[in-house]
């Protein structure tokens, strides 16, 4: 079956702009999470959605937001981009919401560069 | 949240077994032990998880100490494709932390031909 699909793979934006990233989870997976990966901070949790509701949020400013659609696809948005937002943004999906007895499947990520 | 400690790096020879250790001395009774790995230029990949008993799957084996304060991920025959950063993560089954993965710095595994 198809894995987690993230689009686009690469993106270059200018400071102050906004960006929207897309994630299509594995078919049947209803939980979608987003992570940011930078060389300095490593992998950090952004937020998690289940059944179109944000269930958990990491320690990021309000410029980072997301949503989930009825088909479980998810988008994340970053407004007023800063140079420090340059990172690999990863999406992960899971069959079970919050269940520690399930693993997550990650996409290959969107590489965002802010100039 | 309970924390994990892993060596920064390890080396292994191709086709030999690799034992990747993880210490989690403050683990709670409801913490699952999860392992992920991240190959270069890819997202993390789920490897295996367990609670109390040793676990095996097609990718690896997970050996959990009897007191659960440590665990070991075993790759039975390392290949060059196994070169990656390996993360040991605890997930509490009964708290909000189960809804997110808290990644540490992991172990960078180098496989030598």
pLDDT single digits (tens) A27-82: 999 999 999 999 989 999 999 999 899 988 999 999 999 999 999 999 999 999 99
Chain A partners of B103 at a C-beta cutoff of 8 Å? 42-44
The per-residue pLDDT for A113 is 98
How high is the mean pLDDT of chain A?
93
The per-residue pLDDT for B97 is 60
**Integer distance in angstroms from the first to the last C-alpha of chain B?**
39
Q: How far apart are CA B42 and CA B54, in angstroms?
A: 28
Query: pLDDT class for B27, splitting at 50, 70, 90?
Result: very high
Interface contact B42, partner A, CB < 8 A: yes
The per-residue pLDDT for A101 is 74
Percent of chain B with pLDDT over 90: 80
Interface contact B14, partner A, CB < 8 A: no
A7 to chain B, closest Cα gap in Å = 14
Residue A85, pLDDT > 70, answer yes
Phi, psi of B80 (to 5 degrees): -60, -30
The per-residue pLDDT for A2 is 77
A55 vs A111, residue with greater confidence:
A111
Chain B partners of A92 at a C-beta cutoff of 8 Å? 43-44, 101
B79 to chain A, closest Cα gap in Å = 22
**Mean pLDDT score, A78-93:** 97
Q: Which of these, A65, A114, A74, A113, lies nearest to A92 by C-alpha position?
A: A74
The per-residue pLDDT for B94 is 74
Q: How far apart are CA A95 and CA B46, in angstroms?
A: 13
Q: Which of B99, B102, B104, B107 to mutate to test the interface with A (most CBs of A within 10 A)?
A: B99
Query: pLDDT class for A1, splitting at 50, 70, 90?
Result: low
The per-residue pLDDT for B64 is 97
Interface contact B105, partner A, CB < 8 A: yes
The per-residue pLDDT for A98 is 57
Rg (CA), chain B: 13
Summarised one tens digit per residue, pLDDT across range B70-112 is: 999 999 999 999 999 999 999 887 766 667 888 999 999 999 9
Q: How far apart are CA B81 and CA B66, in angstroms?
A: 31
Comparing alpha-carbon positions, the chain A residue that sits nearest to B39 is A108
Choose the closest CB to A104 out of B32, B46, B51.
B46
């Amino acid at each position: 079956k198809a894995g987690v699909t993230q689009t686009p793979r690469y993106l270059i934006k200018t400071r102050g702009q906004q960006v929207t990233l897309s994630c299509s989870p594995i078919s049947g997976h209803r939980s979608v999470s987003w992570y940011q990966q930078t060389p300095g901070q490593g992998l950090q949790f952004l937020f998690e959605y289940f059944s179109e509701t944000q269930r958990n949020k990491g320690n990021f400013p309000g410029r980072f937001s997301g949503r989930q659609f009825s088909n479980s696809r998810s988008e994340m948005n970053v407004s007023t981009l800063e140079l420090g937002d340059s990172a690999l943004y990863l999406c992960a999906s899971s069959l079970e919401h919050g269940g520690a007895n399930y693993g997550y499947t990650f996409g290959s990520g969107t590489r965002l560069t802010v100039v | 949240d309970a924390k994990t400690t892993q060596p920064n790096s390890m080396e292994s020879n191709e086709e030999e077994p690799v034992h990747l250790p993880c210490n989690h001395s403050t683990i709670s009774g409801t913490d699952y032990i999860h392992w992920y790995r991240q190959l270069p230029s890819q997202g993390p990949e789920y490897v295996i998880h367990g609670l109390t008993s040793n676990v095996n799957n097609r990718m690896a084996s997970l050996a959990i100490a009897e007191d659960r304060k440590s665990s070991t991920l075993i790759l039975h025959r390392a290949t060059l494709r196994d070169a990656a950063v390996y993360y040991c993560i605890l997930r509490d089954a009964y708290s909000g932390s189960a809804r997110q993965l808290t990644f540490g710095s992991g172990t960078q595994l180098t496989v030598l031909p």
